Amino acid sequence: MTTTSDPTEQAGQTRPTFDSLSPVTGDVVGTHPVHSAEDVEGAVLAAREQAAWWGALGFDERATHLTTWKGVLTRRLAQLADVVHCETGKPHADAMLEAALAIDHLAWAAGKAEKHLGRRRVSSGLLMANQAATVEYRPLGVIGVIGPWNYPVFTPMGSIAYALAAGNAVVFKPSEHTPGVGEWLARTFLEAVGRPVLSVVTGLGETGAALCRAGVDKVAFTGSTGTGKRVMAACAETLTPVIVEAGGKDAVIVDHDADLDAAAEAALWGACSNAGQTCIGVERVYVHERVYDAFLDKLVALAKEVRADDTAGTHLGPITMPSQLDVIRRHIDDALARGGRALVGGADAVGERFVQPTVLVDVPEDSLAVREETFGPTVTVAKVATIEEAIERTNATAYGLGSTVFSKGRGMQIAERIRSGMTAVNGVITFAAVPALPFGGVGDSGFGRIHGPDGLREFTYAKAIARQRFKPALALTTFKRTEKADQQLQQIVTLLHGRGTTLPKLNKRVKRAGRPRG
Ligand code: NDP
């Protein structure tokens, strides 16, 4: 833990540690403590004290603190990108991009929290006209954030920034592959704010599991669907609510009128950037038959220009988690064994640490490369006779995270029919960079939302207050209710709802009735 006293060291015992390794060289990047269940409980207890202070501040004061932190992050962007680069292997420029987008989200969350969470009046309705009704969104307390390694700044910050802006303290468990990034974030927060409202626990999966059982008020988990289920089961023991941001199998639909250059570039970047290790990465493309060949030619030409290696200006870094190499190899081999063809890359694309871009065609829809998350720089491309078929095949997945449509004439109509939490039209992954848009999926991609007003509200509970302004003409909530009152209620309800009038029409009628005559 970066912020609590260390009982193990106080007892003179040596704390177990683990190393984070460079995926490029295998060298040790850093050594970090493995925090035990007891340590994690201590961290949550300490965070609770911070939550009391932080939660009692007004929105303005919290925004000021978060803005100070934002300034530190911005001024040290290159330093943060270095840590990300060392632990994940991704190109420095990609690490900068990820961190810059996270800073933009932090700014939005800090600036908009009051607007979306502060107390506001709501209509009390005709029957309760004597009440002043208000709602506000109160912080939950302490949020446990469990993050993945692929975007070790952007992804957890989607929860951390919004949870903090909503008035919560956060205990963050970064992935065992990127603990240094987590520690860097907590260190700079402490420096900027002066109190450890954001703290970090490090370790392996067990430390994450301990966080689920440590008495936090909500867990925001980002990672694989399988681990998400284990997190949910652990949280169920204590009725701890949970957000699950899990994997995906996102598709691009290319319509016959699409800008094919833009579509090919977007499909390639969506599939291969971050070496394909993107939850909202493109893994499938469905192309209208009228433009299939033209699109494929463009995609193949572009893909041949992209290489994964460890040179300074490389487009693609290594596969961060060594075990993922086997998954990618299995998906490519299965596709080829079942009649698929690799137009770029293929069986030899998977090296010891790097995977070269791979474009697969003629791959059966029930093969691994089409059905399961590959998480590598590979993409399947299929021809469809109609856009109906493209939508059907896009939706034929247990996942439902992101999606992309390229169409000049009917982008919105197609987007509306895709079963996914987010869709980019004539762009790729753009929704993730718009702070006001909620981020999250359906089905095996999980539930709950980060980012935007929904993302702020995820870390709160709604507090409703009805305050009596004057005595009601019709006293309903009393045992002294009279028969006359019951009759009047019946008359009013019949008048209001008896003719199946919709609420807007009803409001108009009431307004009209209230207008002075003559
Ligand atoms: P994992 O599910 O393996 O791990 C995610 C986090 O959970 C890590 O911090 C991990 O710790 C921790 N963890 C592992 N076991 C447990 C447990 N039993 N209880 C609690 N926490 C545990 O995912 P990856 O890190 O491999 O990330 C890749 C996956 O994340 C992909 O499926 C990807 O699609 C998804 N993802 C989803 C995003 C989204 O927003 N929807 C964004 C980014 C990624 P440790 O690393 O120490 O094992």
Give the separation between CA 508 and CA 263, rounded to whole angstroms.
48
* Distance between Cα 464 and ligand 1 center (Å): 35
Q: Which of 247, 258, 230, 259 is nearest to 283 (CA)?
A: 247
91-112: average pLDDT: 96
Pair of tokens at residue 504:
């807007």
Does 5 score more than 50 pLDDT? Answer: no
Atom number, ligand 1, closest to the C-alpha of residue 230: 18
pLDDT score of 14: 79
Own/partner contacts of 55-64, CB < 8 Å, gap of 24 or more, are 55/138, 55/139, 55/141, 55/167, 55/168, 55/169, 57/167, 59/113, 59/114, 59/117, 59/118, 60/114, 62/110, 62/113, 62/164, 62/165, 62/167, 63/110, 63/111, 63/113, 63/114, 63/165
Q: Are 177 and 320 in contact (CB under 8 A)?
A: yes
Give the separation between CA 472 and CA 40, rounded to whole angstroms.
52
- For a ligand 1 pocket test, name from 18, 146, 216, 243 the mutation site with the most ligand atoms within 8 angstroms of its C-beta: 146
Ligand 1 site, residue 216, Cβ cutoff 6 A: no
Active-site annotation holder among 87, 183, 245, 283: 245
Average pLDDT, the chain: 94
Does 2 score more than 60 pLDDT? Answer: no
Q: What backbone phi and psi angles, to 5 degrees, belong to 143?
A: -105, 130
* Distance between Cα 407 and ligand 1 center (Å): 34
Q: Give 357's pLDDT tier (boundaries 50, 70, 90).
A: very high
pTM above 0.85, yes or no: yes
Q: Which residues pair with 245 in a beta bridge?
A: 222, 446
Give the separation between CA 425 and CA 428, rounded to whole angstroms.
7
Q: What backbone phi and psi angles, to 5 degrees, belong to 305?
A: -85, -15
Q: Which residues contact 181 (CB under 8 A, 6 or more apart)?
A: 80, 83, 84, 87, 152, 153, 174
User: Whose C-alpha lies nearest to ligand 1, atom 25?
Assistant: 148
Does 66 score more than 80 pLDDT? Answer: yes
Give the separation between CA 273 and CA 357, rounded to whole angstroms.
10
Q: Which of 196, 226, 236 is nearest to 65 (CA)?
A: 196
Find the helix packing angle between 77-88 and 179-193, rounded to 10°: 160
Q: Give 123's pLDDT tier (boundaries 50, 70, 90).
A: very high
User: Whose C-alpha lies nearest to ligand 1, atom 9?
Assistant: 175
Q: What backbone phi and psi angles, to 5 degrees, belong to 99?
A: -70, -40
245 tagged catalytic: yes
Give the separation between CA 227 and CA 10, rounded to whole angstroms.
33
Give the separation between CA 436 and CA 10, rounded to whole angstroms.
46
296-324: average pLDDT: 93
Q: Give 510's pLDDT tier (boundaries 50, 70, 90).
A: low
pLDDT score of 518: 39
239-264: average pLDDT: 98
- For a ligand 1 pocket test, name from 171, 227, 229, 326 the mutation site with the most ligand atoms within 8 angstroms of its C-beta: 227
Q: Which of 138, 112, 69, 114 is nearest to 434 (CA)?
A: 112
Does 419 score more than 60 pLDDT? Answer: yes
Task: Please name the amino acid found at residue 233.
Answer: A
Q: Which contiguous run of DSSP H or E holds residue 29?
A: strand 28-33
Ligand 1 site, residue 68, Cβ cutoff 6 A: no
Q: What backbone phi and psi angles, to 5 degrees, belong to 340?
A: -75, 160
Q: Supply the DSSP string of 181-230, one letter for each residue.
A: HHHHHHHHHHHHHSS-SEEE---SHHHHHHHHTTT-SEEEEES-HHHHHH
Ligand 1 site, residue 223, Cβ cutoff 6 A: yes
Does 514 score more than 60 pLDDT? Answer: no
Q: What is the pLDDT of residues 204-216, one digit of tens each?
A: 999 999 999 999 9
Does 370 score more than 90 pLDDT? Answer: yes
Q: Please name each of the domains of the chain with its CATH number.
A: 36-246+454-462 (3.40.605.10), 250-398+402-437 (3.40.309.10), 478-518 (no CATH)
Dihedral sign from CA coordinates of 230, 168, 104, 204: negative
Pair of tokens at residue 239:
């009725």
313-326: average pLDDT: 92
pLDDT score of 473: 86
Ligand 1 site, residue 320, Cβ cutoff 6 A: no
- For a ligand 1 pocket test, name from 88, 175, 206, 237 the mutation site with the most ligand atoms within 8 angstroms of its C-beta: 175
DSSP 8-state code for residue 15: P
